[in-house]
Structures are given as structure tokens and as C-alpha cells.
Amino acid sequence: MNTLLQAPCDREPGRGAKASAARHPRWTIAATMMASSLSFIDGSVTNVALPAIGQDLAADAGSLPWVINAYLLPLSALLLIGGAAGDHFGRKRMLITGIVLFAAASIGCALAPNLDVLLAFRGLQGVGAAILLPNSLGILGSSFEGEARGRAVGTWAAAGAIASAIGPPLGGWLVETVGWPAIFYLNIPVAAAAVLIAVLFVDESVEDGRKLDWRGAALATAALGLLTWGLTLWSSTHSATPASLIGVGAGALLFLAFLWTEKRLGEKAMMPLSLFASRPFIGLTVLTFLLYGALGGLLVLLPYLLIVGGDYSPIEAGLALLPFSLVLGVASRLTGRLTERIGPRWPLTTGPIVTGLGFALFALTDPAASYWTSVLPAVAVISGGMALAVAPLTTTVLASVDEQHTGTASGFNSAVARTGGLIATALAGAVLSMTGAGLIDAFHAAAIVAAVFAVAAGLAAFFTLESRKPD
């Protein structure tokens, strides 16, 4: 994802399979941690590198959002099919495949002579991430059980948070001292170590009899691609051109075709429509889309504003975001305990609303003013609000559907989070196309829109969740 934190649910580990004790538990955790950190680091460092990439490769406002979205598009659309492929062909095999593809695409990104080549390899990175992310969790689920599984997943999640936290300042330092291609070369040693450990120490696990919903995956990818292209074109030109309207319209039609296909496939679909028989699941889906869309858009725009509008260096822009991950990492555990006592309704209502207040504070941001008075207050409030929401969201999504659908529900929720960021980044072209005072005014307007979305996310939780403890 292009934000500083992982999506709320990256598919429930080991869906439908009985867990068995791993022969090398520590090495198994290490392999999955390293694999998933590739996606988490890459998603956070690219935001800081956007101005440098745009300047070096002569990317205009209409093209620059695609540096993010070329990665998010296949990741959003193929996440569910990537997990199902691991169930079908073997999770270890698909994990290694995803890592190798991601690493090869990273080399292609670093060597890209122009923007078109960069975007093509960013897309391949997204495919690799869509394969490795769900299978890293799937391996943990099939290798551990009981409390050991909980500790393993907790370690995995903590590694993701750390990777996301160090990504922006590390990426900023690399951009400033070596150049933006270095952020992609950074993936190679991590990928090599993950593959070596996986080959030597990770056990294979397979679920027989699962068929892959290739038609649904193709329709979802095409629909998201056309919709994203149309919105990016509209936002960068500030007008609804025939081409942008055709893109949005065609994307909407393909999305309807996707829903029709999923309905026909029933429980064999990558997204069974029976999930939406649960009112809480519908509310959580709306919450996830709005909240992560707002967050994803602002975290793309903030480093760009600070670098272009406030003359921050890339490393300073990266460090500006560091409090977000630090507060989130510390407070999330406390929020999890609170949710166990009072249930998820109030944390999931209050958290997004507090986050919305933080977004509203960004409407007062002056990038030329002091960071401590102009940027940090908004970052701190957003951090506190997200800390209230992130921990209970995962468990509440899983509790909102019956047991046989927990894996699909968690994977779908993760895809929705990334799709929210995808669409928000497509619309970010309206801000990225501005300069000078116009850039600041456009950022302020985007902050207000993000605040409205976040508050609406909190209201979705309030009206769809019950005031009781989760079962």
C-alpha cells in the first residue's frame, strides 16, 4: 500500500487448512517478515521520491500519480487471487515466485530510462506483491496454531510497522544522497535473503480442490484500470473530457460485469456476494474504503507539498512522517485491549472522526512555516485517530462473517483498503498539477475532502455495528 501502514487485513492465515508445527519456526517467521517488508518499504519510500522521479523522467501531473497507482492497481485487484493461487499451487512456491518477480521488477524500475518503462515494472512489482503478501500470512497460518500462531502473526505485523516507519526517512536519504533508483535496489538483498531462507527452511502447504477465479480477477483488474485512468485524466486536466468519461464509464460497466460473474460463481467466486448479507461487514467495507482512501491520498500529497512547496529535502519530508508510525505502533496495542473491554463500535467510530479532525488541521498547514507548529499537530492527531481504528478493524472484520468466509473477508478488506488509496491517488493529480500558492490551496481543499471522508467512515461504523463486545 502507498501509506505508512499495512492494510487492515491481508487475508486470514491458513484459511481452511489445519495448521501443523513448523520444523524451523524462527526461520519461517524470518522469511515471511522479509518478504512482506518488501511491499511495506516500497509502498512508503516511493511517496518521498515522487518529486525526484517526476523531475528526472519529465513526468507531468497526469502521469505522476501512476508511479503509485501502477503498483497499487494489480496489488488491489489480484490480492485475493494471489492467496487462492497459494492454496492451489503451494504457499511456499507462490511466496518464492512473488519475491523473485518483485525483485526482478525492482531492478527494472531502477534501470528504467523513461516513465513508460518505470510504470511497466511498477505494475510487475504490484503483481509480485499481490502474490507474496497473502502467502506470507498463509504460511504462518499453516505453520503455527493456537497462541503460537497469534505470536507469529503479531511479530509479522510488527515487522511491517517497523518497515513502514523506516521507509520514508531511509528513502529520503537515498534519494538525496544516491538518487531515486537506489530505493528500488534496496529491495534486492532483502529479497535474496528471503528466498534463500524460504528454500532452505519453510515447509510447503497446499489445499487441494480449489479452483481459481481467473475471470473475476481479469474483470476486476480491467475495471480498476479503466476507472483509475479516467479519474487520473480528469483530475490532472481539471475537466471531464470525453476520454475521461469513457474511461470511468467503461470501468463502471466492467465492475458490474465483475459483480455478475461473482454472483454466478457463488461460493467459488474470489469475492462471494454472500459476504454482504452481513450488515456489519458492509459498514466495515465502507469504513475501510473511505478511511484508507483519505489517508492514502494525503500521505501521497504531504511529502510532495513539503518538498515542492516548502523546500524540504527528501529526508526531511520522510522524517516528517515518522511520528505517524511511531504513535501507531505504540498505541495500537493499548487500543486492542480497550476494544476487548468495550467492543469495537466506539473505537471504530471515534478513531476515524479523530482522524478527520487531524485532516482538517492540514487545511491550516503552511509548508514554509515551522514543522512543529504547522505539520506535526495534524500528523499527531491523525496518528492517534488511526491507532484507535486499526487494531479493532482487523478483528471486527473477521467477526462480522461466518467462519468459512473469514479468509475471503480479510483478503477483500485488504483489497478495499488499497483500492481506496488507488482511487485517492488517481484524484491527487488535481493537486500535483498545481504550483506555488495554487498548490497550497489545492492541498488545503484535499485535506477538507479527506476530513469529510474520515468522519463519514466513523459514522458508517456507528450505524452498522452493535454496542457489545465481540464474540
Per-residue pLDDT tens for 91-116?
899 999 999 999 999 999 999 999 99
Asked if pLDDT for residue 17 goes beyond 60, the answer is no
Distance in angstroms (rounded) separating the CA atoms of residues 326 and 46:
19
Asked if pLDDT for residue 395 goes beyond 80, the answer is no
Report DSSP state, residue 112.
Answer: -
Name the band, by pLDDT with cuts 50, 70 and 90, for residue 15: very low
Identical topology for domains 1-10+20-211 and 275-471 = yes
Distance in angstroms (rounded) separating the CA atoms of residues 391 and 209:
33
* Residues in contact with 26: Cβ distance below 8 Å, sequence separation at least 6, in sequence order: none
Report in angstroms the alpha-carbon separations of 454 from 61, 100, 165, 292, 295. Answer: 26, 37, 22, 8, 8
> What is the chain's mean pLDDT, rounded?
83
Distance in angstroms (rounded) separating the CA atoms of residues 392 and 363:
28
3-state secondary structure of 12: coil
Q: Is domain 275-471 given the CATH code 1.20.1250.20 in the classification? A: yes
Please state which architecture CATH assigns to domain 1-10+20-211: Up-down Bundle (1.20)
Report DSSP state, residue 210.
Answer: P
* Angle between helical axes of 25-56 and 147-177 (0-180°, round to 10): 30
Higher pLDDT, 403 or 304: 304
* Residues in contact with 207: Cβ distance below 8 Å, sequence separation at least 6, in sequence order: 16, 17, 87, 88
Give me the mean pLDDT over the 54-71 stretch. Answer: 83
Residue 3 has what pLDDT? 47
Give me the mean pLDDT over the 127-142 stretch. Answer: 83
Residue boundaries of the structural domains of the chain: 1-10+20-211, 214-269, 275-471
What is this structure's pTM?
Answer: 0.80
Name the band, by pLDDT with cuts 50, 70 and 90, for residue 153: low
The per-residue DSSP string of 327-384 comes to HHHHHHHHHHHHHHHH-SHHHHHHHHHHHHHHHHHGGG--TTS-HHHHTHHHHHHHHH
Residue 96 has what pLDDT? 94
Distance in angstroms (rounded) separating the CA atoms of residues 166 and 79:
24
Residue 440 has what pLDDT? 93
Distance in angstroms (rounded) separating the CA atoms of residues 448 and 208:
49
- Count the neighbouring beta carbons within 10 Å of the beta carbon of residue 4: 25
Query: Which residue is it, cell 505508512?
Result: 4
Give me the mean pLDDT over the 8-16 stretch. Answer: 49
Give me the mean pLDDT over the 132-141 stretch. Answer: 80
Name the band, by pLDDT with cuts 50, 70 and 90, for residue 405: low
Are the C-beta atoms of residues 354 and 388 closer than 8 Å to each other? yes
Give me the mean pLDDT over the 67-87 stretch. Answer: 81
Residue 14 has what pLDDT? 45
Name the band, by pLDDT with cuts 50, 70 and 90, for residue 1: very low
Residue 435 phi, psi (nearest 5) = -135, 160
* C-alpha cell of residue 215: 475471470
Give me the mean pLDDT over the 56-74 stretch. Answer: 82
Tell me the per-residue pLDDT of 275-309, one tens digit each, with 9 for 90 and over. 888 889 899 999 999 998 898 888 888 988 999 88
Asked if pLDDT for residue 207 goes beyond 50, the answer is yes
Distance in angstroms (rounded) separating the CA atoms of residues 130 and 63:
23
Residue 252 has what pLDDT? 92
For a pLDDT cut of 90, what percent of the chain falls above it? 31
Ranges 190-204, 412-426, 444-458: which has the least confidence: 412-426
Give me the mean pLDDT over the 1-24 stretch. Answer: 53
Name the band, by pLDDT with cuts 50, 70 and 90, for residue 458: very high
- HSE at residue 172, side-chain half, CA atoms within 13 A, is 20
Higher pLDDT, 398 or 260: 260
Most confident of 110-124, 234-248, 317-331: 110-124
Tell me the per-residue pLDDT of 419-448, one tens digit each, with 9 for 90 and over. 888 788 778 878 887 888 899 999 999 999
- Expressed in percent and rounded to 5, the helix, strand and coil fractions of the chain are 80, 0, 20
3-state secondary structure of 14: coil
Residue 197 has what pLDDT? 93
Tell me the per-residue pLDDT of 167-183, one tens digit each, with 9 for 90 and over. 788 888 888 899 999 99
Residue 25 has what pLDDT? 79
Distance in angstroms (rounded) separating the CA atoms of residues 332 and 371:
25
- HSE at residue 278, side-chain half, CA atoms within 13 A, is 22
* C-alpha cell of residue 367: 509548508
Ranges 26-40, 176-190, 254-268: which has the least confidence: 26-40
* Angle between helical axes of 436-464 and 279-304 (0-180°, round to 10): 160
Distance in angstroms (rounded) separating the CA atoms of residues 349 and 336:
15
* Angle between helical axes of 406-427 and 376-399 (0-180°, round to 10): 150
- HSE at residue 252, side-chain half, CA atoms within 13 A, is 8
